[in-house]
Structure 1
Amino acid sequence: MLIPLTHERMTVQRLPWVTIGIIAMNFVVFAFTWPTAQRDETRSADAWEELITHTEAYPGVWEDDCTRCPGRAEFDALRERFEAVASEHIFFRYGYVPGKPTLRGLFGSLFLHASWAHLLWNMYFLWLYGCSIEDLWGRPLYAVVYLTGGVAAALAQGAYEPDTLGPLVGASGAISALTGVFLIRCWDTRIRFFWMFIVLFGTFQAPAWIMLGFWLTKELFNAFVYADVSSVAFWAHIGGFVFGAVVASVLKLTRVEENILAPALERKTNLLGRHPEAARAVELMEDGDYSTATRALKSAIQQAPKDSDSYRLLAQCYQARGRPEEATRWLRQELKLHAGTTSSWPRPIKSWSTPPLSSH
């Protein structure tokens, strides 16, 4: 037995609100649907038991050429009842049924789970890999990849068994997509695993490219050997994983993450340590509203006089407004804070001419 415990990229710069929201939504949906699913499961099991009991009493009654056999009418009635009861099951109504696909089922299946173990296991892996991807790619793109990855996983399973009427439920396909992203984006990250063999157990570390590659190989083996006899949607896992890996590869090769995502996230994470008024001022400065930004920064300085960042930003504002003397005065105040003194500097500081919001 192998269970991943943690990895080197678990520390994030911002709270992973999207991951937290998805996990919370799954628990809420499960709390509301679990009693209904249990009731529907009991009704379906009872109807199936009646059908099986009847076929045991009348062997061969299910054959197509046995239309006039004794018990055939009762068999047809019991089969119709079972199909009606099964079609009312909440998993058939809101899960993805490849033989009867619906848009509601494609997305609804991502938030339905068959048991507590199913739910907890999926949410554990979502937390393990999702937080890092959300931190690296940002919340909007992460949410899109999660949802589209889940849809791609369901379609992959449907492509393997297009006529099946068994419902597909669970978030594992979407989580597999995140795992594929993790393999490409964090390929050298070391993951710590717990292992147990009979009575022996321990932990070890291994890079993501080895362990996730091993997991994909295992899923492929299971898909080719056990897919027809197992209730696990192996092809959904594989399809989601490949989708995530392809998306991550495209973003990497086109340098979208490097040129667009990373700079945007850098600006947002820099705001976290600033006074709220200073953070608002940065947004105003990006919009070119330097007058309002000036007032916001002065308010920030009054409330947090030791925040040197606000002084520097205020200097930028005055420089952008064509008032270099004011910019110099506020820059001098910032330097005093860094020097830890309130005395006058021995020599004047030249007018500051760095462009607003330039890198520093």
Structure 2
Amino acid sequence: MVIPVHDVNPVRRRPWVTYLLIAANVGVFLLTPAATTTGVESSSLGELCRQEAFYDRYAAIPRELIGNRQLPEVPTGEVGVGAGGPGCVVSEPSYHKLPALSVLYSMFLHGGWLHLLGNMLFLWVFGNNVEDRFGRLRYLLVYLLCGYVAAYGFALGSHDAVTPLVGASGAVSGVLGAYLVLFPRARVWSLVPVLLFIPLRLPAWLVLGLWFVIQWVYSAGYAVSGAGSVAYLAHVFGFVTGVLAALTLAGRQRPEDPYRRREPRRRVA
């Protein structure tokens, strides 16, 4: 899989919404239990229980989304000892959770630093141009719509799952889908893993098309990924929603090609 680092696609105005989304994701992450771990060292049982309780309270859970009601029993964040040994204590929740609102929360929660930085890199590279083309308000609405469709689409495919769904991946996937429709010929500097990471300037249709094919292959079960906890189906739903949004909002108007040679303007008397 190639890693995009920069696109050659100028914008007409500053992408303030993209900046604010990145800042919000980073800021919220720093307030969550996952921010205290690097993902390299092993966490204690107490830390794992607290993280599980936090995500069960705020993140989207497929079974809750399908049934539109919270789980009858959730982790409390405390450690207990049962018949099978030490584990996380579960009991009836002491709070009221709105499953539909948890989807919004989950878009700003991440499981670790790599998860956060990967999503923010893709949003940084591709979000500015989509925002520039859609306009700030429509861009934000499309971003949120893609996140919701991704979460509920994944829930439909895993309706009995109780594992929390976290991350901006569904919404960011929508941004990628919209970018592919709007700027398929834009050039993207990407790191290609051939022995070492080699920087190449590739067309957006190749970078994003390849990315989508990989997500679809893993979601359909045609290949097994080492990242078994990744919700690939959510990425597919988000991406397709972004494509449809771009086709609907942009219509048949073709974006200005930054590579087209322009003739000099002449003033006629």
Q: TM (normalized to structure 1)?
A: 0.55
Taking structure 1 as reference, are residues 36 and 90 closer, same or farther at Cα in structure 2, changes over 3 Å only? farther
How far has the Cα of 1:130 moved from its partner? 0.5
5 Å-filtered alignment, 1:149-188, equals: 149-188=146-185
Q: Which sits farther off after the overlay, 223-232 or 183-192?
A: 223-232
| Count of residues in Structure 1 that have an aligned counterpart in Structure 2 | 216
**Structure 2 partner of 1:219:** 215
- Once the two structures are aligned, what percentage of the paired residues are identical? 35
**Structure 2 partner of 1:234:** 232
Given that residues 36 and 90 in structure 1 are in contact (C-alpha distance below 8 angstroms), is that contact kept between their aligned partners in structure 2?
A: no
How far has the Cα of 1:244 moved from its partner? 0.2
What secondary structure does 2:63 align onto?
A: coil
**Structure 2 partner of 1:197:** 194
How far has the Cα of 1:229 moved from its partner? 8.2
Taking structure 1 as reference, are residues 227 and 206 closer, same or farther at Cα in structure 2, changes over 3 Å only? closer
Given that residues 35 and 112 in structure 2 are in contact (C-alpha distance below 8 angstroms), is that contact kept between their aligned partners in structure 1?
A: no
Structure with the larger strand share = 2
Given that residues 107 and 171 in structure 2 are in contact (C-alpha distance below 8 angstroms), is that contact kept between their aligned partners in structure 1?
A: yes
Structure with the larger helix share = 1
How far has the Cα of 1:89 moved from its partner? 1.2
What CA deviation, in whole Å up to 9, does each residue of 1:153-201 have, x standing for no partner? 1111111101100000000110000000001011111212112333x44
What CA deviation, in whole Å up to 9, does each residue of 1:38-84 have, x standing for no partner? 7x9833757xxxxxxxxxxxxxxxxxxxxxxxxxxxxxxxxxxxxxx
Q: Which amino acid is the alignment partner of residue 155 of structure 1?
A: Y
**Structure 2 partner of 1:313:** none
Matched, 1:29 2:36: no
Q: Which amino acid is the alignment partner of residue 21 of structure 1?
A: L
**Structure 1 partner of 2:45:** 42
Question: How far apart, CA to CA, are the structure 1 residues paired with 2:149 and 2:36?
Answer: 25
What secondary structure does 1:242 align onto?
A: helix
How far has the Cα of 1:105 moved from its partner? 1.2
**Structure 1 partner of 2:139:** 142
Question: How far apart, CA to CA, are the structure 1 residues paired with 2:228 and 2:115?
Answer: 15
**Structure 2 partner of 1:246:** 244
Q: Which amino acid is the alignment partner of residue 239 of structure 1?
A: F
Given that residues 134 and 249 in structure 2 are in contact (C-alpha distance below 8 angstroms), is that contact kept between their aligned partners in structure 1?
A: no
**Structure 1 partner of 2:115:** 118
Q: Which amino acid is the alignment partner of residue 7 of structure 1?
A: D
Question: How far apart, CA to CA, are the structure 2 residues paired with 1:140 and 1:125?
Answer: 20
**Structure 2 partner of 1:324:** none
RMSD: 2.7
Question: How far apart, CA to CA, are the structure 2 residues paired with 1:155 and 1:227?
Answer: 22
Given that residues 106 and 154 in structure 1 are in contact (C-alpha distance below 8 angstroms), is that contact kept between their aligned partners in structure 2?
A: yes
Given that residues 119 and 172 in structure 2 are in contact (C-alpha distance below 8 angstroms), is that contact kept between their aligned partners in structure 1?
A: yes
Q: For structure 1, which runs of at least 5 residues remain unmatched after alignment?
A: 47-84, 263-360
5 Å-filtered alignment, 1:229-308, equals: 230-253=228-251
Q: Which amino acid is the alignment partner of residue 43 of structure 1?
A: G
Question: How far apart, CA to CA, are the structure 1 residues paired with 2:55 and 2:140?
Answer: 24
How far has the Cα of 1:222 moved from its partner? 0.9
Task: Pick the structure with greater CA Rg.
Answer: 1
Question: How far apart, CA to CA, are the structure 2 residues paired with 1:89 and 1:6?
Answer: 38
Taking structure 1 as reference, are residues 194 and 153 closer, same or farther at Cα in structure 2, changes over 3 Å only? same
Q: TM (normalized to structure 2)?
A: 0.73
How far has the Cα of 1:37 moved from its partner? 8.2
Question: How far apart, CA to CA, are the structure 1 residues paired with 2:209 and 2:161?
Answer: 29
Question: How far apart, CA to CA, are the structure 2 residues paired with 1:112 and 1:204?
Answer: 32
Given that residues 37 and 89 in structure 1 are in contact (C-alpha distance below 8 angstroms), is that contact kept between their aligned partners in structure 2?
A: no
What CA deviation, in whole Å up to 9, does each residue of 1:79-104 have, x standing for no partner? xxxxxx78x71111111101112012
